[in-house]
Structure 1
Amino acid sequence: MEKQEAIRVITEKVRLLERHRTLDAGLLTFYVEKLVTDILDYCHRTDFPEPLVYSAVDLIRKRLADEDTAGNEPGVPTNAPLSSVKMDDTEFKFAVSNIDPTGCLADLDFATLRPKLNRWRKVVSLP
């Protein structure tokens, strides 16, 4: 299916499954467009493989759930990047306050999709 059709179909399915809550249309469109573009780029394709629609829907819903988790807890959610390490009298603090934890988790989620994407990935030879 074409890129725009994939975006439309995935968006419709996410809206259907998330009908119990209000979704920001612009943000949802951004997430779906980004995921479809990332998949097409990773697979070196211009057409979107139809069997990947449901995997894309699952990832978008997971991203929305991660945002809900990040929004409900004060500070950083429990599944966010490590912020500090302490052992005896030595402590290391990492600058994670300027990192969007949902973005990090989205990258990790995309990595879990790679085995499925590899089936649809086209070989590209460099000149």
Structure 2
Amino acid sequence: MNYLTPDEAVEKIVDAVTQNTTDTYQAERLAQKFVYDVLDYCNREDFPKALVFTAEDMVTRWLEDTEDGGRAPLKSLTQNDTTYQFAVSEVSSTGDPKEEDFDRLKPKLNLYRRPKSL
């Protein structure tokens, strides 16, 4: 299995994401967040190379969410006189879609997780 240093992982993710966007700074910040969240969760110092494509998908989604004003579950919608109702109680406890996305990835990340050393 191939591994990357955290800096190499961030660079690969940013290169992949910025081919389709012009906001390099935001992409780099989100890539760093993803890489260091993975390293922290997996108790590692090296980033699994196989997760670069997953990271690219996540960072791209997060950038699109930022451009679109974020993701909020819509509970109901009325056409005439325009009524929107958001499902606020159904949002994750952190209220951050990034954390929710990361939680969904944890089963995949468990493949790379190491026992925490004392």
Superposition TM-score, scaled by structure 2 size: 0.74
Give the secondary structure class of the aligned counterpart of 1:4. helix
Aligned residues, how many? 100
Q: Which residue of 2 aligns with 1:87?
A: none
Larger CA Rg, structure 1 vs 2: 1
Does the Cα contact within 8 Å between 2:73 and 2:88 map onto a contact in 1? no
Q: Which runs of 5+ in 2 are unaligned?
A: 75-85, 90-94
Residue from 60, 75, 79 that aligns with 2:73: 79
1:22 aligns to 2:16 (yes or no):
no
Distance 2:114 2:102 in 1: 18
Q: Which runs of 5+ in 1 are unaligned?
A: 72-76, 85-100
- Taking only the aligned residue pairs, the percentage that are identical comes to 34
Distance 1:66 1:28 in 2: 12
Does the Cα contact within 8 Å between 2:43 and 2:114 map onto a contact in 1? yes
Give the secondary structure class of the aligned counterpart of 1:124. coil
Deviations 1:61-83 (A, max 9, x none): 11112112217xxxxx6438744
Give 1:1-40 correspondences, 5 Å limit. 1-16=4-19, 18=20, 21-23=21-23, 25-40=24-39
Superposition TM-score, scaled by structure 1 size: 0.69
Equivalent position amino acid for 1:22 in 2: T
Q: Which structure has more strand as a fraction of its residues?
A: 2
